[in-house]
Protein backbone atom coordinates (compact mmCIF):
# COMPACT_ATOMS: atom_id res chain seq x y z
CA UNK A 1 0.00 0.00 0.00
CA UNK A 2 1.03 3.61 -0.44
CA UNK A 3 1.47 6.14 2.35
CA UNK A 4 -2.12 7.22 1.93
CA UNK A 5 -5.44 5.74 0.82
CA UNK A 6 -6.37 8.36 -1.76
CA UNK A 7 -9.51 7.21 -3.51
CA UNK A 8 -9.50 3.82 -1.78
CA UNK A 9 -12.43 1.83 -0.37
CA UNK A 10 -12.66 0.19 3.07
CA UNK A 11 -15.09 -2.36 4.49
CA UNK A 12 -15.27 -2.10 8.28
CA UNK A 13 -17.16 -4.68 10.34
CA UNK A 14 -18.45 -3.00 13.45
CA UNK A 15 -17.64 0.27 11.74
CA UNK A 16 -20.43 2.40 13.14
CA UNK A 17 -19.23 3.11 16.68
CA UNK A 18 -16.37 2.97 19.15
CA UNK A 19 -13.10 1.78 17.58
CA UNK A 20 -14.62 0.97 14.21
CA UNK A 21 -16.00 4.49 13.78
CA UNK A 22 -12.69 6.06 14.77
CA UNK A 23 -10.82 3.84 12.32
CA UNK A 24 -13.17 4.99 9.55
CA UNK A 25 -12.38 8.63 10.36
CA UNK A 26 -8.65 7.86 10.44
CA UNK A 27 -8.82 6.24 7.03
CA UNK A 28 -10.77 9.16 5.62
CA UNK A 29 -8.07 11.48 6.96
CA UNK A 30 -5.53 9.69 4.76
CA UNK A 31 -7.68 9.76 1.64
CA UNK A 32 -10.18 6.90 1.72
CA UNK A 33 -13.35 7.96 -0.10
CA UNK A 34 -15.54 4.85 0.00
CA UNK A 35 -16.79 2.94 3.03
CA UNK A 36 -19.02 0.03 3.92
CA UNK A 37 -19.90 0.38 7.60
CA UNK A 38 -21.29 -2.84 9.01
CA UNK A 39 -23.35 -3.28 12.16
CA UNK A 40 -25.12 -6.29 13.61
CA UNK A 41 -27.64 -5.33 16.29
CA UNK A 42 -30.47 -2.89 15.61
CA UNK A 43 -29.34 -1.05 18.74
CA UNK A 44 -26.24 0.08 16.80
CA UNK A 45 -28.17 1.53 13.85
CA UNK A 46 -28.44 5.10 15.14
CA UNK A 47 -24.73 5.39 15.92
CA UNK A 48 -23.79 3.79 12.61
CA UNK A 49 -26.03 6.20 10.69
CA UNK A 50 -24.44 9.08 12.59
CA UNK A 51 -20.94 7.92 11.68
CA UNK A 52 -21.97 7.47 8.06
CA UNK A 53 -23.44 10.97 8.00
CA UNK A 54 -20.24 12.49 9.37
CA UNK A 55 -18.16 10.73 6.71
CA UNK A 56 -20.53 11.85 3.97
CA UNK A 57 -20.33 15.44 5.15
CA UNK A 58 -16.62 15.24 4.42
CA UNK A 59 -17.18 13.87 0.93
CA UNK A 60 -17.22 10.10 1.37
CA UNK A 61 -19.53 7.64 -0.36
CA UNK A 62 -20.84 5.38 2.43
CA UNK A 63 -22.93 2.21 2.46
CA UNK A 64 -24.42 1.06 5.77
CA UNK A 65 -24.86 -2.70 5.97
CA UNK A 66 -26.64 -4.69 8.69
CA UNK A 67 -26.14 -8.40 9.15
CA UNK A 68 -24.96 -11.21 11.37
CA UNK A 69 -21.54 -12.03 9.91
CA UNK A 70 -21.63 -15.50 11.45
CA UNK A 71 -24.06 -16.19 8.60
CA UNK A 72 -21.65 -16.66 5.71
CA UNK A 73 -24.17 -15.51 3.11
CA UNK A 74 -24.33 -12.12 4.84
CA UNK A 75 -20.57 -11.68 4.71
CA UNK A 76 -20.46 -12.72 1.07
CA UNK A 77 -23.29 -10.33 0.23
CA UNK A 78 -21.55 -7.46 2.02
CA UNK A 79 -18.36 -7.83 0.01
CA UNK A 80 -20.29 -8.39 -3.22
CA UNK A 81 -22.20 -5.17 -2.54
CA UNK A 82 -18.99 -3.27 -1.89
CA UNK A 83 -17.42 -4.57 -5.10
CA UNK A 84 -20.52 -3.87 -7.19
CA UNK A 85 -21.03 -0.36 -5.82
CA UNK A 86 -17.45 0.90 -5.74
CA UNK A 87 -15.85 -1.27 -8.41
CA UNK A 88 -12.93 -2.14 -6.13
CA UNK A 89 -12.22 -2.80 -2.45
CA UNK A 90 -8.80 -2.17 -0.94
CA UNK A 91 -9.01 -2.48 2.86
CA UNK A 92 -11.02 -4.80 5.13
CA UNK A 93 -11.07 -4.32 8.90
CA UNK A 94 -13.01 -6.46 11.36
CA UNK A 95 -13.62 -4.89 14.77
CA UNK A 96 -16.74 -6.93 15.60
CA UNK A 97 -17.06 -9.49 18.37
CA UNK A 98 -18.66 -10.41 21.68
CA UNK A 99 -17.29 -10.76 25.21
CA UNK A 100 -18.52 -13.44 27.59
CA UNK A 101 -16.98 -13.39 31.05
CA UNK A 102 -17.99 -16.35 33.20
CA UNK A 103 -16.43 -19.15 35.14
CA UNK A 104 -15.83 -22.20 32.99
CA UNK A 105 -18.44 -24.10 35.00
CA UNK A 106 -21.03 -21.41 34.22
CA UNK A 107 -20.47 -21.30 30.46
CA UNK A 108 -23.42 -22.80 28.60
CA UNK A 109 -23.45 -24.41 25.19
CA UNK A 110 -25.32 -21.33 23.93
CA UNK A 111 -22.57 -19.07 25.35
CA UNK A 112 -19.92 -21.17 23.64
CA UNK A 113 -21.70 -21.17 20.30
CA UNK A 114 -22.40 -17.43 20.43
CA UNK A 115 -18.79 -16.64 21.25
CA UNK A 116 -17.29 -18.85 18.55
CA UNK A 117 -19.84 -17.67 15.98
CA UNK A 118 -19.03 -14.00 16.55
CA UNK A 119 -15.31 -14.17 17.29
CA UNK A 120 -14.05 -17.10 15.24
CA UNK A 121 -16.48 -18.15 12.51
CA UNK A 122 -17.39 -14.60 11.50
CA UNK A 123 -13.73 -13.59 11.56
CA UNK A 124 -12.73 -16.53 9.35
CA UNK A 125 -15.32 -15.86 6.67
CA UNK A 126 -14.75 -12.10 6.81
CA UNK A 127 -11.10 -12.78 6.07
CA UNK A 128 -11.99 -15.31 3.38
CA UNK A 129 -14.36 -12.98 1.56
CA UNK A 130 -11.98 -10.04 1.89
CA UNK A 131 -9.29 -12.17 0.30
CA UNK A 132 -11.68 -13.00 -2.53
CA UNK A 133 -12.47 -9.42 -3.52
CA UNK A 134 -9.58 -7.21 -2.36
CA UNK A 135 -7.44 -5.54 -4.96
CA UNK A 136 -3.75 -6.29 -5.30
CA UNK A 137 -1.70 -4.85 -2.42
CA UNK A 138 -4.73 -4.56 -0.20
CA UNK A 139 -4.79 -5.04 3.57
CA UNK A 140 -6.84 -7.00 6.10
CA UNK A 141 -6.82 -6.30 9.85
CA UNK A 142 -8.74 -8.14 12.57
CA UNK A 143 -9.13 -6.86 16.12
CA UNK A 144 -8.45 -9.65 18.60
CA UNK A 145 -7.56 -9.27 22.31
CA UNK A 146 -4.52 -8.96 24.53
CA UNK A 147 -6.15 -11.64 26.68
CA UNK A 148 -4.62 -14.06 24.17
CA UNK A 149 -1.44 -13.56 26.22
CA UNK A 150 -3.11 -13.59 29.65
CA UNK A 151 -3.11 -16.20 32.41
CA UNK A 152 -6.46 -15.48 33.98
CA UNK A 153 -9.74 -17.06 35.09
CA UNK A 154 -13.26 -16.24 33.81
CA UNK A 155 -12.25 -15.68 30.19
CA UNK A 156 -12.18 -19.20 28.80
CA UNK A 157 -14.46 -18.64 25.80
CA UNK A 158 -13.66 -15.02 24.90
CA UNK A 159 -9.92 -15.28 24.17
CA UNK A 160 -10.50 -18.95 23.40
CA UNK A 161 -12.72 -17.97 20.49
CA UNK A 162 -10.30 -15.22 19.41
CA UNK A 163 -7.26 -17.53 19.47
CA UNK A 164 -8.03 -19.24 16.12
CA UNK A 165 -7.87 -15.83 14.42
CA UNK A 166 -4.11 -15.81 14.92
CA UNK A 167 -3.81 -18.93 12.80
CA UNK A 168 -6.30 -17.67 10.23
CA UNK A 169 -4.15 -14.54 9.99
CA UNK A 170 -0.97 -16.50 9.37
CA UNK A 171 -2.60 -18.78 6.83
CA UNK A 172 -4.30 -15.92 4.97
CA UNK A 173 -1.10 -13.89 4.86
CA UNK A 174 0.62 -16.80 3.11
CA UNK A 175 -2.24 -17.55 0.74
CA UNK A 176 -3.02 -13.95 -0.20
CA UNK A 177 0.60 -12.82 -0.22
CA UNK A 178 1.06 -13.62 -3.90
CA UNK A 179 -1.40 -10.78 -4.57
CA UNK A 180 0.40 -8.43 -2.21
CA UNK A 181 -2.36 -8.50 0.42
CA UNK A 182 -1.11 -8.04 3.98
CA UNK A 183 -3.04 -9.67 6.83
CA UNK A 184 -2.60 -8.83 10.51
CA UNK A 185 -4.33 -9.01 13.88
CA UNK A 186 -4.23 -6.31 16.56
CA UNK A 187 -4.75 -7.17 20.22
CA UNK A 188 -5.70 -4.14 22.32
CA UNK A 189 -5.88 -4.21 26.08
CA UNK A 190 -9.25 -3.59 27.76
CA UNK A 191 -10.61 -0.54 25.93
CA UNK A 192 -12.53 2.40 27.32
CA UNK A 193 -15.77 1.57 25.52
CA UNK A 194 -19.18 0.16 26.40
CA UNK A 195 -17.87 -3.18 25.16
CA UNK A 196 -15.70 -3.32 28.30
CA UNK A 197 -17.93 -1.88 31.00
CA UNK A 198 -20.86 -4.20 30.42
CA UNK A 199 -18.79 -7.21 31.45
CA UNK A 200 -16.81 -5.99 34.43
CA UNK A 201 -17.60 -5.43 38.10
CA UNK A 202 -16.39 -2.25 39.81
CA UNK A 203 -13.54 -4.23 41.39
CA UNK A 204 -12.48 -5.70 38.05
CA UNK A 205 -12.65 -2.30 36.38
CA UNK A 206 -10.35 -0.88 39.06
CA UNK A 207 -7.86 -3.69 38.48
CA UNK A 208 -7.81 -3.32 34.71
CA UNK A 209 -7.34 0.44 35.01
CA UNK A 210 -4.03 -0.06 36.82
CA UNK A 211 -2.76 -3.29 35.23
CA UNK A 212 -0.88 -1.86 32.25
CA UNK A 213 2.65 -0.52 32.59
CA UNK A 214 1.52 2.76 31.01
CA UNK A 215 -1.85 2.98 32.75
CA UNK A 216 -1.27 6.36 34.37
CA UNK A 217 -0.72 7.93 30.96
CA UNK A 218 -4.11 6.81 29.65
CA UNK A 219 -7.22 8.95 30.13
CA UNK A 220 -8.89 6.17 32.13
CA UNK A 221 -6.07 3.71 32.73
CA UNK A 222 -7.49 1.51 29.98
CA UNK A 223 -6.47 1.26 26.35
CA UNK A 224 -7.81 4.34 24.53
CA UNK A 225 -9.28 3.73 21.09
CA UNK A 226 -7.24 6.76 20.00
CA UNK A 227 -4.12 4.62 20.53
CA UNK A 228 -5.41 1.73 18.41
CA UNK A 229 -6.93 3.44 15.37
CA UNK A 230 -3.62 5.02 14.26
CA UNK A 231 -1.95 1.59 14.44
CA UNK A 232 -4.62 0.12 12.18
CA UNK A 233 -4.20 3.06 9.82
CA UNK A 234 -0.44 2.43 9.76
CA UNK A 235 -0.86 -1.28 9.00
CA UNK A 236 -3.00 -0.53 5.94
CA UNK A 237 -0.70 2.23 4.65
CA UNK A 238 3.05 2.56 5.39
CA UNK A 239 3.05 -0.60 7.51
CA UNK A 240 1.81 -2.80 4.68
CA UNK A 241 5.07 -4.81 4.71
CA UNK A 242 4.09 -6.17 8.15
CA UNK A 243 2.03 -9.31 7.55
CA UNK A 244 1.02 -12.50 9.33
CA UNK A 245 1.46 -10.90 12.75
CA UNK A 246 -0.50 -10.42 15.95
CA UNK A 247 0.44 -7.06 17.43
CA UNK A 248 -0.28 -6.47 21.13
CA UNK A 249 -1.05 -2.76 21.59
CA UNK A 250 -1.93 -2.55 25.24
CA UNK A 251 0.41 -0.24 27.14
CA UNK A 252 2.12 -3.22 28.75
CA UNK A 253 -1.01 -5.03 29.92
CA UNK A 254 0.11 -8.45 28.72
CA UNK A 255 3.06 -9.77 26.74
CA UNK A 256 4.40 -13.05 25.43
Tens of pLDDT, residues 14-28: 999 999 999 999 999
State the pLDDT at residue 200.
Answer: 79
- In eight-state DSSP terms, residue 62 is E
d(CA 40, CA 250): 26
Helix (H, G, I), strand (E, B) or coil at 104: helix
Residue 234 neighbours by CB distance under 10 Å: 15
Cα 234 to its chain centre, rounded Å, is 14
Q: Please, are residues 4 and 13 in contact by the beta-carbon 8 Å criterion?
A: no
Q: Please, are residues 99 and 145 in contact by the beta-carbon 8 Å criterion?
A: no
State the pLDDT at residue 52.
Answer: 98
Q: Please, are residues 180 and 137 in contact by the beta-carbon 8 Å criterion?
A: yes
Residue (of 121, 21, 14) closest to 73 by Cα position: 121
Q: Please, are residues 72 and 117 in contact by the beta-carbon 8 Å criterion?
A: no
Question: Which residue pairs, CB below 8 angstroms and at least 24 apart, start in 46-54?
Answer: 47/16, 47/17, 47/21, 48/15, 48/16, 48/17, 49/16, 50/16, 51/15, 51/16, 51/17, 51/21, 51/24, 52/16, 54/25
- At the top level of CATH, the class of 9-194+225-249 is alpha beta
Q: Please, are residues 40 and 27 in contact by the beta-carbon 8 Å criterion?
A: no
CA angle 129, 133, 137 (to 5 degrees): 115
State the pLDDT at residue 209.
Answer: 87
Mean pLDDT in each 10-residue stretch from start to end of the chain (256 residues)?
A: 87 96 98 98 95 98 98 98 98 96 97 98 98 98 96 94 98 98 96 73 82 92 94 97 97 94
State the pLDDT at residue 1.
Answer: 59
Residue 131 neighbours by CB distance under 10 Å: 19
State the pLDDT at residue 208.
Answer: 84
pLDDT in tens, 90-147: 999 999 999 999 999 999 999 999 999 999 999 999 999 999 999 999 999 999 999 9
Amino acid sequence: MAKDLKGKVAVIAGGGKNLGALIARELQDVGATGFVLHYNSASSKAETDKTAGALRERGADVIVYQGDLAVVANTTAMFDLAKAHFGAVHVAINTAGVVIKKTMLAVTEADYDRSFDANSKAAFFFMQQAGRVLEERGAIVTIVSSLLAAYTPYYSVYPGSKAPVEHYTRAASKEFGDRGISVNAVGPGPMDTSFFYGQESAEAQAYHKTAAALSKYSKTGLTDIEDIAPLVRFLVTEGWWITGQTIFANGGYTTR
